[in-house]
Chains A and B, each alone.
Chain A
Amino acid sequence: MKRRETIKTLLAGSLAGGAVVSSQSCKTEGGVEGVIEEAFSVGVGRTPEERERDRKLLAEDFLTDDELGTLAILCDIILPATPTAGSATEAEVPDFINFMSKDAPFLKVPIRGGLAWVNNEALKRFDDSFEAITEKQRIEIVDDIAYPDKVTPEFNQGMKFFDRLRGLVLTGYYTSKIGIEDLGYVGNRPNVWDGVPAEVLKDHDVDYDPEWIAKCINQEKRNELVQWDDEGNVLNN
């Protein structure tokens, strides 16, 4: 994947989520940079300084195309597609990791070094790059570094990298639109909270104490102007 394309795909993801932005993006002039400008000016409420920094970071180079290639394969080993949910790369996780390495530069060496470690290992064992070896060969390497409680000392550094990568992939994936849908998180929308569903209470063998519940808001009357008596009892709940 080329860097400019990477930025574009990242933005496509962002734009899909930000209704305010997508209505404007078609008018954008000035190519990728212009799109960046639009995407982060309104989308998430940035101050001018924040917008400027994000713009710079997005335009900056970090991972090479080769590195992004290796990263993409690893990301999809960690979270491949399922019949119902897209893969890590479909959720643009490699772009997220590339961005985070620029935003939090302490990640740069561990990420770059870890990708190189994986490639060195492929070269040692199978005489080719990680990208070039077979799926089965890749898994052989990954299995040696994917289980912290079983790892042997010679794979410890590889394990540390894979551990960090797994965390980043999980964050990148489950904060994406695809991942949030896969998780089933159904909040972040206007709602009226009126307690735990009855069947869930039953499953968990907990219940609402009637005395407690009597104090709680009667959601039918939430829009009525509150009235109290002199003791502070609400008269219209």
Chain B
Amino acid sequence: MQIKETPKEYDAVIVGSGAGGGMSAKVLSDAGLKVAVIEAGPFFDPKDPETMTQMKWPYESPRRGGWTKERNFGELDMAYGGWNLDGEPYTQKDDSNFMWFRSRMLGGRTNHWGRISLRFGPKDFKGHTQDGLGDDWPIGYEDVKPYYDKLDKMIGVFGSNEGLPNDPDGFFLPPPKPRLHELYYIKAAKKLGVTVIPSRLSILTKRINAERGVCFYCNQCNRSCSAYADFSSGSCLIFPAQKSNGQVDLYNNCMVREVVMNKEGKARGVSYINKEDGRSYEIRGKVVILAASACSTARILLNSKDGGSAGLGNSSGLVGKYLHDSTGSGRGGFIPALMDRKMYNEDGVGGMHVYSPWWLDNSKLDFGRGYHIEVWGGMGMPNYGFGMGMDGFNKFMGISEGGYGDKLRDDVKRYYGATIGFGGRGECIAREDNYCELDPDVVDQWGIPVLRFKYSFSDHELNQAKHMQQTFEQLIDAMGGHVFGDTPTKEQNYGLNKGGEIIHEVGTTRMGNDPATSVCNKYQQLHDVDNVYITDAGPFVSQADKNCTWTIMALSMRASEHIVEQLNKRNI
């Protein structure tokens, strides 16, 4: 049912409150503008005791932190969402099996993300020039550097200036010291010639302003920090935006269906369904900013039939195309030297303290692009799953498996903290034939056509995964450890994660100078409609061997400043 009431009118309507939308709200409000943020999920504030899970014990819940269908990484994780949402399906084309992770809450997926915050390097914007694969971006590192610099200072990220050519320096807070298993890792990596440096996470090891606290090392950033010492879009962008010069109205539990147009071919605003009363409403703005995450934004454009039967901004036919996610492959091992640990509090920050940026030259390898290595391990808080599968350790030690009683207690304590794990996160080469599109047959519970995915890998990704696995085995070996499981085979895609599983989807509305081969320009403004911008990861031309969020925010800041300028000049 469409409600006929005069829609409110704003300077800008922002769809989505995650990394991209939060930054747009902040920049626009700082400029004194009046904005509406439309968010499909409920309000969320990390410091609200009602919803807070930080510092809780597993025994405070009957399932001890286990998996639920609303919280796929454990019930204490701060994501209202997961791989599947009730009433909001997505489908697959042919034999694809793309995984799509969505969080429905203020701040989106930034409430529980890993906080790994890596700048793209100069090579990452000019991939095609380097090796003939994929395409170059219409902008280079020098265009984005000033925004990365501002972002570092505004949000805070720890790390270290290493002078590496493609992993640029920045304005870092001092990193925390490595933990014990990380010292083992450093030693092994150095032995193998694998670069290893302090990690780069958007966590405040030192004060950056009066509003946000300093990390108190609880290791639970995935639960979202009540002291606002880690980056979440709500606590670090939306709330400050509300206190800034402009006006920021939040519309929570409102699901945007499409962008609506006026007779002049400009966007007039968006129409949305209020999930609380199930009715449709319209809201108006001089400019519409889509930041619903790469795939959701593509979906909104494709559903916006005011813009033509192919959807809005889709004269190139490329909306939804060039979808790609980081590659990923993981492996773990058991390190006998780490048995019988002395107990002390080594929680540290909610993530790794060290990592390995890409260290090799691809021209000498059988895959096009690199990957970085994330490291985990240590004496973490027991959670659902603790002690399951412990038998394997006894096998490595040549001790009889299984058993019960005091032997079992001894085993648990002996092996606690003696495992290490790696995640390789690499670049997948963007291809037009990896995409999301509207499913011609299926709608969600609000009658909105849903996305259908088509995704496959090339040898570049498969060979890269194979290389990751070899590296992981060598690293574990260098630590005197035992690798878990068998080496994944070719039939198992060398352990390569499914598309989407690394949760870095980008590229669905890519930027470019030529309207025939791109959806938006270098300011993330639709080629077809000048008052619609996209500030999530849709405009990425390529992924790089870096996690995408720091770049989403730097680019969102850049695009949002452009919007302010264009509004001031009355160009849009």
Contacts and interface: CB of A to CB of B under 8 A. Distances in A.
Interface stretch (B312-320, B396-404, B421-429): B396-404
Given A191-B217, A195-B177, A78 B389 contact: no
A1 to B, nearest CB: 16
B404 A78 contact: yes
A206 B174 contact: no
Contact of B63 (A103, A182, A190, A199): A103
A68 to B, nearest CB: 15
B384 A171 contact: yes
A82 B406 contact: yes
A171 B74 CA distance: 14
Contacts of A79: 404-405, 408-409
Interface in A35-78: 40, 42-45, 47, 49-50, 54, 57-58, 77-78
B404 A96 contact: no
B364 interface: no
Interface string B433-448: 0000000000000000
A224 B205 CA distance: 10
A14 B62 contact: yes
Nearest to B80: A47
B53 A45 contact: yes
B358 interface: no
B359 interface: no
Interface stretch (A111-119, A121-129, A144-152): A144-152
Nearest to B153: A228
B174 A225 contact: no
A35 to B, nearest CB: 13
B400 A147 contact: yes
Contacts of A78: 404-405, 408
Contacts of A226: 173, 206-208
A229 B282 CA distance: 48
Contact of B59 (A146, A176, A233): A176
Contacts of A163: 391, 402
Contact of B343 (A18, A104, A184): A184
Interface residues of A, number: 95
Contact of B172 (A185, A212, A234): A234
Contacts of A224: 206-207
Given A185-B379, A193-B346, A212-B198, A171 B59 contact: no
Nearest to B387: A170
B80 A147 contact: no
Contacts of A201: 183
B345 A166 contact: no
A196 B346 contact: yes
Interface in B132-181: 149, 152-153, 158, 160-161, 169-180
A192 B209 CA distance: 19
Interface string B74-92: 0110001000000000000
Interface stretch (B65-73, B249-257, B486-494, B549-557): B65-73
B572 interface: no
Interface in A150-208: 150, 159, 162-163, 166-177, 179-180, 182-197, 199-201, 203-204, 206-208
Question: Could you say which interface size class chain B belongs to?
Answer: 35 or more
Contacts of B385: 171
A26 interface: no
B93 interface: no
Contact of A147 (B177, B402, B405): B402
A40 B76 CA distance: 13
Nearest to A91: B59
A172 B383 CA distance: 9
Given A99-B62, A196-B183, A180 B51 contact: no
Contacts of B346: 187, 193, 196
Contact of B217 (A82, A159, A192): A192
B52 interface: yes
B566 interface: no
A65 B35 CA distance: 60
B50 interface: yes
Contacts of B279: none
A215 interface: yes
Contacts of A13: 59
A166 B402 contact: yes
A85 to B, nearest CB: 8
Interface string B193-217: 0000010000001111100001011
A171 B403 contact: no
Interface of A: 10, 13-14, 17-18, 20, 40, 42-45, 47, 49-50, 54, 57-58, 77-80, 82, 85, 95-96, 99-100, 103-104, 142, 146-150, 159, 162-163, 166-177, 179-180, 182-197, 199-201, 203-204, 206-209, 212-213, 215-218, 221-226, 228, 231-234, 237
Given A42-B49, A148-B402, A149-B395, 8 more contacts: A85-B409, A95-B62, A149-B401, A174-B382, A188-B55, A193-B217, A196-B179, A217-B175
Interface of B: 42, 49-53, 55-66, 68, 70, 75-76, 80, 149, 152-153, 158, 160-161, 169-180, 183-184, 186-187, 198, 205-209, 214, 216-220, 337-338, 342-349, 379-391, 395, 400-406, 408-409, 412-413, 416
13 contacts: A14-B59, A43-B56, A45-B49, A45-B51, A50-B68, A78-B404, A147-B402, A187-B346, A187-B381, A196-B183, A204-B180, A206-B183, A209-B186
